[in-house]
Structure 1
């Protein structure tokens, strides 16, 4: 997973180490998680396609 942190008050991306500083100043911090690889909407479909290649 990749994690990015944003301070919505400063409107900037911040490092994880800066979260406490921003929150102690009363700022709102938001985190966004993104998987390293994206899966299809229906993982079972991918399995069926793999079976068709035989």
Structure 2
């Protein structure tokens, strides 16, 4: 998983080490988690490969 942190008051991406400094100034910090790889939207599309039926 990749994590990115944003300060909504500064409207910038910040490093993890900067979170406390921004929050101590009263800023709002938001984190976004992103998987390293995306999975298929339809898990049943791989049913035949897994030995299951559609």
TM-score tier (shorter): 0.7 to 0.9
**Where in structure 1 do 4 or more consecutive aligned residues deviate above 4 Å?**
none
Q: Distance in 2 between matches of 1:46 and 1:26?
A: 48
The TM-score, its normalising length taken from structure 1, stands at 0.83
Give 1:45 deviation, angstroms: 1.1
Q: Which runs of 5+ in 2 are unaligned?
A: none
- Counting helix residues as a fraction of each chain, which structure ranks higher? 1
Q: Which runs of 5+ in 1 are unaligned?
A: none
| Count of aligned positions | 50
